[in-house]
Amino acid sequence: MDIWVLPLTGERKPRPYLQTPFSEADAVFAPVAGPTRWVAYTSTESGRPEVYLQQFPASGVKYQLSRTGGVGPAWRPDGRELYYFENGAGYAVPITLGSSVDIGTPQMLGRNPNISAFAPGADGKRFLAALPAGGSSAAEPLTAVLNWSTGMKR
């Protein structure tokens, strides 16, 4: 697996961002725009999934953020922290972005091996998390109603 980008201007042709012998996934751009853009992603280059931070376009300079495995990076909306999962626990890493980067020490936020996806709130203190309903991993059926506005006219 590799990470590709699709330019939204010009020829609009997909091109590789990271194409290595390892698996890369979960790429997310930092929400802070500036002279240097940054991307957090998961890669198996260490032999297990870890979370990395790298400039965009790729310059070869990268930082490993997780310590003992990590997946699912997500930015706090102001770009001051990056969150990820490591061995069933959520972690936060303070980050200051610019033309260079200052990375703090990862801090464990809590442990819940049942979380399958999450999104941080604007303040970094609350999260929206996907958990199995009723303690079960079985998904409830979902009913999608198509063309519902036509039914409302009757």
pTM of the model: 0.78
- Which two three-digit tokens encode residue 141? 């059926």
Distance CA 88, CA 113 (A): 4
Q: Are strands 50-56 and 62-64 parallel, antiparallel or unpaired?
A: antiparallel
Most confident of 56-60, 98-102, 104-108, 125-129: 104-108
Per-residue tokens: 77? 């909306």
Domain enclosing residue 111, as ranges: 3-153
The length of the chain in residues reads 154
Number of domains in the chain: 1
pLDDT in tens, 117-141: 778 887 777 888 777 776 555 555 6
- Which residue, among 58, 60, 40, has the nearest Cα to 49 in the 3D structure? 40
**Phi and psi, residue 86, nearest 5°:** -140, 115
Predicted pLDDT of residue 97: 86
Give the closest residue to 32 by CA, choosing from 91, 95, 92.
95
Indicate the pLDDT class of residue 36, thresholds 50, 70 and 90.
Answer: confident
Q: Is the pLDDT of residue 45 over 80?
A: yes
pLDDT per residue over 69-87, tens digit each? Answer: 999 999 998 888 999 988 8
**Cα first-last separation, the chain:** 49
Q: What is the pLDDT of residues 3-32, one digit of tens each?
A: 998 988 999 999 999 889 999 999 999 987
